[in-house]
Structures are given as C-alpha cells and as structure tokens.
Structure 1
C-alpha cells in the first residue's frame, strides 16, 4: 500500500497509572491485561534491555 500525502497516523494514547494498576491486578489474577498496556510493552521488542512482560510491568511507575 502506498502512503498518501495528507494522511497521518492516529494519536495513540499512552497508558495511565490506572491502566498499569489494572494490568498488574489482571496479570496477577490471570484475567488478562488491556491492550493499551501490552502495546506499550511490545514497543520494547528488539530494544537493548528488553525484558519479559512480567518484569517490565512490575517496573512501570504509571
């Protein structure tokens, strides 16, 4: 697909402190994690120091 001039990427919201709190609770209980948090972690893939999701989530101060 060719990029068309004038089209821009939509603004993607960043996870809030509440999103991270729900994610930690959901992960611990096995219910799952909202995509807004997982998407943020996926952006670390291929970066130096990339860590497993559980470790990354525990380190988030949000």
Structure 2
C-alpha cells in the first residue's frame, strides 16, 4: 500500500493534552477522532485492564 501524503505513520508523535481534549469534544459531538489518539488506545489491546474507547479516553489528560 502506498503511503498517502498527510497521513502520519504510527509512532511519529505522541498525542498531546490538546489532542485528547479535541477527541473528547469530538466524541460528545458524535464526530470522528484523530488517528493519533485512536492509535494510543489501540496500543492497549491485549493488555490487562483494557477499556472501551470512551472509558479510556475519559481517563486521558486533556
């Protein structure tokens, strides 16, 4: 698959508090969430205590 311009690759940067704040507002509004935040949540898959996305997001700083 060819890399598309404008799409960052996994691990390129960590989400900031502002990213988490925007994600929380987007969830409340019923919109999508930036991939940098979803990518962090996906890293919790297979880990003990894994939470549903909305519950995990509520615990994040931002």
Question: What interval of TM-score do these two structures reach, taking the shorter chain for normalisation?
Answer: 0.7 to 0.9
Match of 1:21 in 2: 21
2:55 is aligned with 1:52 = no
Task: Kindly tell me the number of residue pairs found equivalent between the two proteins.
Answer: 53
2:43 is aligned with 1:31 = no
Deviations 1:1-21 (A, max 9, x none): xxxxxxxxx852000011000
Deviations 1:10-62 (A, max 9, x none): 85200001100000000110111000000000000000000000000000014
The runs of 4+ residues in structure 1 deviating greater than 2 Å are none
TM-score when normalising by structure 2: 0.79
| Structure 1: segments with no counterpart, 5+ residues | 1-9
Q: If you compute each CA radius of gyration, which structure gives the higher value, 1 or 2?
A: 1
TM-score when normalising by structure 1: 0.79
Match of 1:6 in 2: none
